Amino acid sequence: MSVMVIKQKGGAELSAKQTSIYLIVTFILTVPLFAHSSDPALYEHASFANVSGNTAESPVYPPASPDQKTPTFSVSHTENGAEVTINVTSDEDLFQGWVAGKDIWSNSNWDYWWLNTRIASDADNNIYAAVKLYEYSNPSNNFDMFVLENNGDTSEEFLDWNGPGSNPLIVNNPDPNIYLGQPTIDREGAVDADNNTYLTYTNGGSNIIFTKLDPDGTLLINGLNIVVGANAWTNEARVDIAPDGRIYVVWSKDLHDIQYTYSDDGGDSGTWSTPTSICYNAAEQICKPQVSCDTNGNVHVIWQNASRLAYMKLLPDGTVSIDESLLTSGGVWAPTMSIDDQNNLNIVWGTGSSGSNSVYYTKINGNLDGGGASMSDDDLTIIQEAAFATDTQGVRYAKCTTDDYLNVHAVYEQGEYGRHHPKAMKYIKMNGVPLLRIVCPDESVLLVEMTGSGTDWEGTFTPPVNGSYSADISGSDAEGNTGTATYEFEYPGTGIESQGNLPVSGFSCSPNPFRGLANFSYTLPATGNVKIDIYDMRGRLIETLTNEEQQAGLNSVNWNASGTTPGIYLCRISSGAATETLRCVIVAD
């Protein structure tokens, strides 16, 4: 599971306090990382103690809620020619949307301007929320960390904690490590598929520093200076990792220039690309960039353009797919995002550094291609901007993560901005649409959003191959409890007469990846009917290239995909009872 990284707060008012912040930085030598609570080392520092001289009242931690009943499902399937429908009946109504928020942490007299909070999820879809204990009268390097169930109920607390034995990395192999970021200073990081951790930050604002750790926390690269003269504002240098291992780092130079650099080899050679500007605006402040790579290796960047949300998409080769697009009606401050398994961007933000009465959410369709042009809200967004949490006491600095069920989990700060005011960390969840995750015999995975209402739901897809299928079902109730079930079935295929087990050989696509036109070639041992179908990654039939009798020997079929959205597609050839599937990648022109 890709681990989403949560972002540090800051803004115009922060720069007025830079001196204080950098004094804090000098006391902090390590960057804590988190993992699933099954690690015994989590229990080494699970007690809370006030530091001598602390004038603020001790925080209040809500007790864990009693176990709540999760939805359970009855599942069946029906076949209709080349399609399969999964029928799901729940024992209670399923609900899509934001559910009631929950208290995680509070303090009645917090001696700092804001709270430093983080959120992330692990491979088991548990949620981790953390709050830094730093305040003026208690300059602690510790934090309080809470393991939440998927509905937001607190299951475990680790209070006044700095990791096991003050180790900056919590190891939980073979599960992925969880990186939440350093809750006081603005260091940023990500974890790759091999459990290596990558950190980026600046040395006071002028240069960007890179550090790499192995799964056990051993330093592989320590404090390498990768960009000189970056002048990144308020220490903001963000990092993410593409599936091919390329590392991208973005930052705002001098508050007017969004730039990025990348390393092709995980940073191991110390070679990074020349910094490239993707947006320059001399008239307005553009800052607080965030970066996420999707499953196809595309790079998504958001930032704050004056008071609007800005978005850009780059293809893996650096070509601009969607140019700078200014979204929302304004009032955007410190947007953060989490990319889900459908490559959609879930974005949350507040409306100002000192807070407002609402925090907002929008969802961008990350699979679109604008051919290098900008796109509008109406073209880009799946969900338009909407307030998901309001409070007359003031709310700010929302952060979010997503889980395997396409649920969105967010935390935000509640309370009046400034010192010596009550502060609280709140949690809220948006249930995703009831979902089918189909694991196919060829190991491809299809995500199918179900339709229905109340207790009755269904999802239809086209199986790409014959064989054994496994459908993982998920859906949530109005309290945020997510139920899951697994349903397995055999799909034999229909309407095909058996003509042996290996009717074709050498099925290939050239070129692959490709733009516009591709050629499929294959060899038939005997004359017979051949059918080639193209499916998207959700199992929907896109096009049938051929369905006719062909002669024995070498054959070929062209696919003109010039009007097809760039991405990954499943190409299935069938002749007789056997089928073969390969993946093809369309890149933008």
User: In CATH, what number is assigned to the domain containing residue 471?
Assistant: 2.60.40.1220
Domain tally, the chain: 2
Strand order across the beta sheet in which 257-263 lies: 232-241, 247-253, 257-263, 276-280
Would 472 be classed as within a structural domain?
yes
Same domain, 526 and 573: yes
Would 109 be classed as within a structural domain?
no
Same domain, 549 and 579: yes
Same domain, 455 and 475: yes
Would 276 be classed as within a structural domain?
no
Q: State the Cα–Cα distance between residues 480 and 126, nearest whole angstrom.
A: 13
Domain that holds residue 546: 505-586
Render pLDDT for 392-418 as a digit per residue (tens, 0 to 9): 888 988 999 999 899 999 999 999 999
Same domain, 510 and 489: no
Would 178 be classed as within a structural domain?
no
State the CATH number of the domain containing residue 555.
2.60.40.1930
Q: State the Cα–Cα distance between residues 568 and 584, nearest whole angstrom.
A: 6
Supply the pLDDT for residue 527.
Answer: 84
Same domain, 513 and 538: yes
Q: Minimal CA–CA distance to 205: which of 147, 253, 260, 258? A: 253
CB of 423 within 8 A of CB of 116? no
| Residue that is last in its domain, among 448, 474, 494 | 494
CB of 200 within 8 A of CB of 188? yes
Name residue 469's beta-bridge partners: 489
Supply the pLDDT for residue 63.
Answer: 54
Would 454 be classed as within a structural domain?
yes
Would 569 be classed as within a structural domain?
yes
Same domain, 485 and 527: no
Amino acid at residue number 375: M
Same domain, 487 and 457: yes
Neighbours of 374 (CB within 10 A): 16
| Residue that is last in its domain, among 466, 494, 522 | 494
Please name the residues in contact with 363: beta carbons below 8 A apart, sequence gap of 6 or more. 344, 345, 346, 347, 381, 382, 383
User: Could you tell me how many helices (H) and strands (E) the chain has, helices first?
Assistant: 3, 39
Supply the pLDDT for residue 41.
Answer: 29
Listed as ranges, residues in the chain with pLDDT below 50 are 1-56, 164-177, 181-185, 494-502
Q: Minimal CA–CA distance to 464: which of 487, 439, 486, 485? A: 439
Amino acid at residue number 476: S
Supply the pLDDT for residue 73.
Answer: 94
| Residue that is last in its domain, among 455, 475, 494 | 494
Which long-range CB contacts under 8 A does 516-520 form with residues at least 24 apart?
516/560, 516/561, 516/562, 516/589, 517/558, 517/559, 517/560, 517/561, 517/562, 518/558, 518/559, 518/561, 518/584, 519/556, 519/557, 519/558, 519/559, 520/545, 520/556, 520/557, 520/558, 520/559, 520/571, 520/573
Q: State the Cα–Cα distance between residues 2 and 297, nearest whole angstrom.
A: 13
Same domain, 518 and 541: yes
For residue 457 the two structure tokens come to 């739901």
Q: Minimal CA–CA distance to 365: which of 289, 409, 429, 300? A: 300
Looking up tokens 């949530």, which residue turns up? Answer: 476
Would 456 be classed as within a structural domain?
yes
Same domain, 477 and 532: no
Same domain, 516 and 574: yes
Same domain, 515 and 575: yes
Q: State the Cα–Cα distance between residues 409 and 402, nearest whole angstrom.
A: 6
For residue 173 the two structure tokens come to 């192999």
CB of 248 within 8 A of CB of 262? yes
Q: State the Cα–Cα distance between residues 61 and 38, nearest whole angstrom.
A: 21
Same domain, 509 and 490: no
Q: Which helix (H) or strand (E) holds 21?
A: helix 18-26
Strand order across the beta sheet in which 445-449 lies: 445-449, 435-439, 467-476, 482-491
Q: Residue 511, preceding bond cis, omega within 30 degrees?
A: yes
Q: Are strands 456-461 and 517-524 parallel, antiparallel or unpaired?
A: unpaired
Would 573 be classed as within a structural domain?
yes
In terms of residues, how long is the chain? 589
CB of 530 within 8 A of CB of 546? yes
Q: Three-class SS of residue 14? A: helix
Looking up tokens 């060899």, which residue turns up? Answer: 523
Residue 318 DSSP code: S
Distances, alpha carbon 284 to alpha carbons 27, 257, 304, in Å: 34, 10, 10
Distance linking the first and last C-alpha atoms of the chain: 30
Supply the pLDDT for residue 171.
Answer: 32
